[in-house]
Chains A and B, each alone.
Chain A
Amino acid sequence: MLFNVSSLQDGQTARCARCGQFLTRYRSDGLERALAYNIAALVALAVACSFPFMQFKASGFENLMTLPQTALELYRNGMPFLALLVAAFIILIPTAVLILQLILVSSLLRGSRSEWPRRLGRLMYTLEAWSMVDVFLIGVIVSLVKIAHMATVVLGISFWAYAGFTILFVLAISNLDRFQCWRQIEALSRTGEHTA
């Protein structure tokens, strides 16, 4: 179905008249918002990866766990493929998406006329569907309750950093509207052609 969305005002949302699906939302400061959340999310992720995530204590013994270890331990238990999947879903893909978005948004804000925004955008939107940061956070909470009766579990700095990262990541992605972002990329390359 065809819709004319060019008349959207700041903060307004367009939905499909047939099935009610969200189409696009226009925000005049969408790029700046996405950039701010993006940088904050990257900082939170760096913290989450470098400090202990959780600590497990039982009958005088204790064990410390970091975020990258969730994938590494699977690898040590003879499941390299599953380890790769977990690492990709919770760390590698989200990091890649954030870095791609950072470069894309900053080059859009600078008004760069190179081919890069187009390539970065393609890669970013293909990867975006496969990041599962929010799902992992629920997984952490479920496993906490699962072992609560077995032993004492202490939450590390990294856990809180990851929780913050999850929220910031979702905000960074949702503030860069797919439709508006692509029309901006297109508008930039068009002015590039005129001056060239």
Chain B
Amino acid sequence: MMQELSMHVVDIVANSIKAEATEIAVTIIESEVDDKRGFKVVDNGIGIKADMLDKVLDPFYTTRTTRRFGLGLPLLKMTCTMCDGEFIASSIPWEKTEIEAYCKRSHLDTPGWGQMAAMWMECFSAFRGGRLLFTFEFDSKDVVMDSEEIKQALGDEELCYEPSVLIQLRDMLANQLREYIREETYEIIK
């Protein structure tokens, strides 16, 4: 069971990576004004064919041959539906595959974010081949983490994934997020 929304984000981004995407854009949305909490993941990977879009939401469907079910997307859809939100999946293979998942922020069952900065770090460190653009959209401000900028500033791509660098980037982001989001809705690092 996914108790936190950040777990879903890491899970959905793992799908994009497995789909051989070279660009992944993640938008995290936390808005008191629109009473909305959720996220959008857009990638340019292999995608989901039109006739498969319904099937991927069936927990007993999977493209894997190792097991007979796949739970990531069904679990996410369940969370959204449970919390008066919406779940939208659309796909143009190798161009744009989009998963949008929103909850009503004020709904009692809407999960908290969990560890937001760690969530970014996990996605960043899992996706070593391409560009990861991460945007946190809050009512007052957007916080952006662009893997290209980080790679350029660090010069050496290998260096980006050094554990000490990952931790420092994570904590740097956590400090930034602290300014824009009420702390009870998430834990910054752990």
Chains A and B form a bound pair? no
